[in-house]
Amino acid sequence: MNFEKMIEAMTPDIYESLKRAVELGKWPNGERLTKEQRETSLRAVIAYEHARNMPEDQRVGFIDRTRPDGTQHGCDPLAPQTLKILTEQ
C-alpha cells in the first residue's frame, strides 16, 4: 500500500491515535517512537488533514494570532520586513 492510499483509508480514530503518538513521542502501549516513526506519523497526520480539507484552525501547528478585540497580531512570515537602522549622533 502506498502512502496516498494509506491516507485515503485512514479513519478518524487512527488519525487521532497518530496525532497523539507524535505529540507524546510514544505509542499507546508506551513504546517510544523512533525518529523515523515520528517523522512518518507527522507526515501522515498533515497529509490526512490536507486530504480532508480540515479548517486551518483545526490543523496541527496552527497558532491563533487573534487578539481579544478580534484583530490579528504578529507579522505575516511571508511579508517582507523593513529594518530600521539607528545611528548615534
As given in the structure block, the three cell numbers for residue 26 are: 510514544
Residue 7 lies in a domain: yes
Residue 72 lies in a domain: no
Whole-number pLDDT of residue 72: 72
- The domain of 11 spans 3-58
| Number of domains comprising the chain | 1
- pLDDT tens over the chain, length 89 residues: 788 888 889 999 999 999 999 999 999 999 999 999 999 999 999 999 988 888 888 888 887 777 777 777 766 667 777 778 888 87
Residue 30 lies in a domain: yes
Residue 33 lies in a domain: yes
- State the virtual CA torsion across 37, 16, 49, 42 in degrees, nearest 10: -20
Q: Are 7 and 51 in contact (CB under 8 A)?
A: yes
**pTM reported for the whole predicted model:** 0.68
CA dist 40 and 46 (Å) reads 10
Residue 86 lies in a domain: no
CA dist 71 and 52 (Å) reads 28
CA dist 89 and 79 (Å) reads 32
